[in-house]
Structure 1
């Protein structure tokens, strides 16, 4: 494809604003824009008109079906396809699509996770059109982004509470902006840009690994002589197969209106990253779900498999998804932009402190929002942020807050010109702050980067928490300031910010989050250190968290409890599948291969002795003894793991089961793996029952 054709290609499969303006009557278009921008109710006659135009556009572009596309609590997306055909008699059909079909769908809700909100026999559920996220065409089907709820109205998905949190944040942000004199602002949107890390491996090699197929990660496998220690893969030249994949992925995403911007090799061998341009939170979440799906589809066409697990390979870096978050007004102002004089920028300081206060008070929820069995492998492993939530502000902003707290003058820092030592290079100025890759939540110029989410995660959860917690902080600030006369507002804001700094300074940390010293310091500060998913989830239903979500109508108490149960159950099922897969691989693949090698060595020793008892065979006998000993120990460890797995199956209480999986099965799996990986280094390549790390990581 020629680069000149990209503007025409971009969004060509999206029912976007340009298409709506062209296809819809003016009054219908204006009514729909009002719904999108002001969150007003959409009347059925408007929906009927939109449905006709949407169907005509979709059919023109080859679509034969439509689907309500939703995001249940599985973490994936779901869809049920219906054709546009409608019989009219005489064996004839017409292509038809009504406003009722656009606005509401009715998938079976009984088989989706509900955490006890719905009984199995209560099957009715509804999908409701989200007009703020544009419809698109994929695989000759019109995809309509929707929310998903039960017959009695409970949210069974990730989109509904995200939309609730966005509206809550919008309301509280506008209130305080009006208080600060910004009365031209009518709306505030949370915007995000989720960077997506992933691995690419050869598809035929992938298909020979039961662990990758069933769990998404390798449960056995010794590291090759070379991993990532040479640091030569990071930002390195793209290999031809990877480059071809990335070109096709960009094109596929651009057609769907997904602003894929940056692509490069990541730190680990076979690891890569894609980053998009910012968009409003719910659209960005939809786009990220689509991006993960398209990565897998495009990879398959190139004879590759895309791995989105947080830790597919032991011994090298895992994959995350950095959630870049900011606040934009309808007038185009970034509320997290400090400007040239951050110490005097009252508006910026209020919103900065709202974020700091929110993260400090709800750090447990921030950790919960990224909790999963897969992500537990990378958090705190010197390859990702620690499990302790803290905020990195950098030198300049920290100095600004110090000056406010201490009532001292803040002298603006001068721009520093970079001295590279080569006169031929152009002059440029350093940024006011460095980056801190060890920080879970870092300020990066005009946004915050939440670095804890795992690569397979839907970023709806972290943004629900962040939006709601910041909205609560803004609500409290508003209550403090609402009765202050305009003449005293600046003084009152200064006092409020000063109190907030003193109260929440403990969450600010600009140092190295990987050190043991920080763990000890964080404990002194009273910060959470929720090292595993079961530990984190235990905080979900605390009183303060229940009050936060129910006060702002993000979740009912029943919806919170249901999500707690779903997350616990998902964690237990994940570890259970991994344990069973490992047992299967050890029993049916690894041990038979090891027995075969033992037989070969035994035969070799016999052959030597048959020639002459005087011939040396000590080395072979030593190796045989070690392998026989390893065989027995691996058998014992596998039997223990099998017994522990059966014990786990008998635990009815989900929280108790989760802690058992974390405290018993995972250590058992780690011990079994360590033994098998140590022996793998001795097995001849022709006996290894599955492709090695060398083939997985260096074959593309």
Structure 2
């Protein structure tokens, strides 16, 4: 095993640079060339078909057979002209990743002649079976049938793999009886609901607004490790993280990696990644070093939420493929290295009207600021009312390692808004007097019409906030780097849509009672502020004082996934999703079961890998080194230097102590795991893995193994060390 480590180190030294060549010097020349976007649709479809397709995309109108056939014909012609031979319905099952089954355009006609065929029926619906994907009881094992259905709001695209090309059609994945088995279907429903709710509220102020679109920008953080070094670590290969490893003397404490010069080999990877992303219409804008060594980030220009999420999932898949070509292993795990910053996927979210107005953009105009403060307070109210559900939306086995450590947000859901906006809330709460004059002139003593433009920059400097206002958007910072953002976005958009609907009803009721519109709005907003202030927190989220204060405010502090997911069992959660027509109770229950099972399986795998590494790799290495020391002591005594062996004997005893503990903990953990595996209840089993395996054994076992790493001869240690993984590029 040690030989594999040193062979990997030699490979790193021999790495040769890969030449990257873009299709053109101008990104605009090839941006979206592998995407069946609006420009191509307009060019290839008749004006009537194009209009009806756009109505389906923007207004949710039904796509009939004629439109589907016309689009399918154009798609096939476009794809084949680019060398595509296969097509697939690209979907996002409840595993958290993406899935696809490829079919050839090739068919045989009635005369046995080969033809290329792609009908509208194949575009609109496919039966991929996919019976092995988790369903949480929505279908039985013997009920294999599942359907993928075309999502016309997200453009089809071509994936290039080697010399092959495949047309990918974004789809939802549903059971035979119609229940959603994926992350996309509930998201689409939530986006439709917030469009209607936000538009209804906007029309209180401006009747010309007919649509509101939720936008999203996903900042994707990740680690890049040389592939040879990563492959020499069974824990990285099987769990995506290091289960053992001593923190090197130099880590991230000097902050010299953050925003530093990007290493040349990484730059070449990023250059090729951007080229491939641009060809697929993914608007990657930013790249930079993150805080931890070998940690980086890419971020796109904001897009409509569904498209942005599809693009993020596609980008992660691209990153894996491109990094492999550059002999890197990319790590999306939220906490792959102990003692180093973890990786998040900050979800930057806002609401944009069909007039191009960002509803979360402060202004110097009184009317626009009343709209801004209306949406701002309602969003915070939704965050307060559904803070536990938001916490559940970002809960996972891997994110549990990240939350609450280094720069990651804590487990307690809170919102940072900055002192200026907090002062405005306080002023509004205490002094809501307004005067309404003719026209649009609204004068408010609290000075809403004087919110300064500097708010664009004078915002989030609190890196411990899970949900922060950052000038013209909210940044859901607690989302993990490995997550499918659809889950968090479904909850956030559902919660905000629900709150906006309630707000609109309350305002309408006061207006019906002859209260002036502006007065009614302010009165309702003022009534929300006591609740809103409970979730607003400007201080240090890591301090013990915040834990006490959060408890006093009634905010939950779920430190692990099984307990965070318990909110999905509450009747109020089922009622929310049912009332908003996002998910049925059965669909909510299924997601609770699936996520608990996923947590259990991840913990089970980590436990098994830890025991294997400890007993079959670490312990034998430490024993061999101990034997060498014992022979050394015997030899010293044989030549009369027994008095000089005291320090070596101390080392031998320490080795024995840590070795015994490693064996004991690994064996006890294995026996405990066998006991837990007999538990049938999924929640009880997940909690047992959390409390009786992870919390009881992982940290202690790691501590003893890491101690052995500092004692055993470096030439004998079997696993690539942190200094090699993080600093050799």
TM-score of the two chains, using structure 1 as the length reference: 0.96
Deviations 1:13-72 (A, max 9, x none): 000000001111111111111111101100101110110000000011111000000000
In 1, Cα distance between the equivalents of 2:641 and 2:369?
89
Question: Where does 1:447-462 land on structure 2 (aligned, <5 Å)?
Answer: 447-462=473-488
In structure 1, the residue matched to 2:159 is 138
CA contact (8 A) 2:272 2:322 kept: yes
**Pairing 1:660–2:684 present:** no
**How far apart, CA to CA, are the structure 2 residues paired with 1:64 and 1:90?**
22
Residue correspondence of structure 1 range 55-66 to structure 2 within 5 A: 55-66=76-87
- The corresponding residue for 2:191 is 166
Contact 1:165 1:464 in 2 (8 A): yes
| Matched residue, 1:85 | 106
Question: Would you say the 8 A contact 2:94–2:183 is kept in 1?
Answer: yes
Give 2:10's aligned residue: none
Secondary structure of the corresponding residue to residue 178 of structure 2:
coil
Aligned residue number for residue 600 of structure 1: 628
The aligned residue for residue 465 of structure 2 is 439
CA displacement, residues 218-270 of structure 1 (integer Å, 9 cap, x when unaligned)? 11111111110111000010111111001011111111100001000000010
- Which of 677, 697, 717 is matched with 1:688 structurally? 717
**SS class of match (1:608):** helix
Deviations 1:451-471 (A, max 9, x none): 001100000011000100001
Q: Is the 8 A contact 1:360 1:504 kept in 2?
A: yes
CA distance in 2, matches of 1:614, 1:54: 83
Per the alignment, residue 602 of structure 2 pairs with 574
**8 Å CA contact 1:435, 1:444 repeated in 2:** no
C-alpha distance after superposition, 1:365-394 (max 9, x if no partner): 100000001001111113211110111111
1:254-308 CA-to-partner distances (Å, cap 9, x unmatched) read 1110000100000001000011111111101100101111111110000101000
Which residue of 521, 537, 544 corresponds with 1:516? 544
Q: Distance in 1 between matches of 2:431 and 2:246?
A: 58
Aligned length: 688
Match of residue 498 from structure 2: 472
Contact 1:396 1:413 in 2 (8 A): no
State yes or no: 1:366 paired with 2:402: no
- Counterpart in 2 of 1:250? 274
1:8 CA displacement: 1.4
Aligned mates of 1:694, 1:394 — CA distance in 2: 39
Range 648-657 or range 561-570, more displaced: 648-657
Aligned to 2:647: 619
Q: 1:101 and 2:137 equivalent?
A: no
Q: Secondary structure at the match of 2:26?
A: helix
Query: Does the 8 Å CA contact 2:125/2:147 hold for their aligned counterparts?
Result: yes
Q: Which residue of 2 is the match for residue 203 of structure 1?
A: 227
Q: Is the 8 A contact 1:203 1:304 kept in 2?
A: yes
Q: Deviations over 1:92-146 (max 9, x none)?
A: 3121110000000001132110011110000001100000000000020000000
Question: Structure 1 residues 91, 594: CA separation in 2 closer, same or farther (over 3 Å shift)?
Answer: same
| 1:181 to partner: Cα distance | 3.6
Farther off after superposition, 217-226 or 335-344: 335-344
Q: Give 1:666-685 correspondences, 5 Å limit.
A: 666-667=694-695, 668-685=697-714
Which stretch shows the higher mean deviation, 70-79 or 184-193?
A: 184-193
- Equivalent position SS for 1:286: helix
SS at match of 1:195: strand
Cα distance in structure 1, aligned partners of 2:205 and 2:419: 30
1:177–1:183 CA contact under 8 A, matched in 2: yes
How far apart are 1:343 and its partner, in Å? 9.0
In 2, Cα distance between the equivalents of 1:384 and 1:15?
Answer: 38
Q: Is the 8 A contact 1:343 1:400 kept in 2?
A: no
For 1:146 and 1:434, the matched residues in 2 are separated by 36
- Offset at 1:434? 4.5
Classify 1:344/1:401 alpha carbon distance in 2 versus 1 (closer, same or farther; 3 Å).
Answer: farther
Cα deviation digits, residues 189-220 of structure 1 (max 9, x gap): 11100100000000011111110011001111
Match of 2:13 in 1: none
The answer on whether the counterparts of 1:211 and 1:217 sit within 8 Å (CA) in structure 2 is: yes
Q: Does 1:32 align with 2:56?
A: no
> Contact (CA 8 Å) 2:362, 2:453: kept in 1 or not?
no
- More displaced stretch, 65-74 vs 601-610: 601-610
Give the SS at the match of 1:345: helix
| Further displaced range: 3-12 or 66-75 | 3-12
The structural deviation recorded for 1:504 is: 2.5
TM-score under structure 2 length normalisation: 0.92
For 2:86 and 2:246, locate their aligned partners in 1 and report how far apart those are by CA, in whole Å.
47
Once the 2 structures are TM-superposed, how far is the Cα of residue 174 of structure 1 from its aligned partner? 1.5
Q: CA RMSD in A?
A: 1.6
1:343–1:410 CA contact under 8 A, matched in 2: no
Are 2:580 and 1:552 equivalent residues in the alignment? yes
Q: Would the alpha carbon gap of residues 2 and 111 (structure 1) be closer, same or farther in structure 2, given more than 3 Å must change?
A: closer
Is the CA contact 1:109–1:150 (under 8 Å) kept in the aligned structure 2? Answer: no
Counterpart mapping for 1:161-560 below 5 A: 161-178=186-203, 180-341=204-365, 345-407=369-431, 409-411=445-447, 431-483=457-509, 484=511, 488-560=516-588
Unaligned runs of 5+ in 1: 418-428
Q: Is the 8 A contact 1:14 1:255 kept in 2?
A: yes
**2:456·2:471 contact (CA, 8 Å) conserved in 1?**
no
Q: Which moved more, 1:592-601 or 1:344-353?
A: 344-353
Give 1:88 shift: 2.9
In 2, distance between residues paired with 1:109 and 1:613? 71
Separation of aligned partners in 2, 1:661 and 1:376:
13
Deviation at 1:435, TM superposition (A): 2.5
Say which is worse superposed, 640-649 or 7-16, in terms of deviation: 640-649
**Distance verdict in 2 for CA 1:343–1:25, change over 3 Å:** closer
- Within-5 A mapping of 1:121-160: 121-139=142-160, 140-160=165-185
Residue number among 26, 42, 47 corresponding to 2:68 in the alignment: 47
Query: Is there any run of 5+ residues in structure 2 with no aligned partner, and where?
Result: 1-21, 433-444
Assess if the C-alpha contact under 8 Å between 1:67 and 1:141 holds in 2: yes
Judge conservation of contact 2:344–2:480 (CA < 8 Å) in 1: yes
User: Which 4+ stretches in 1 moved above 6 angstroms?
Assistant: 412-417
1:264 alignment partner, SS class: strand
SS of residue paired to 1:269? coil
8 Å contact kept, 2:636–2:642: no
Q: Aligned-pair distance for 1:482?
A: 2.0
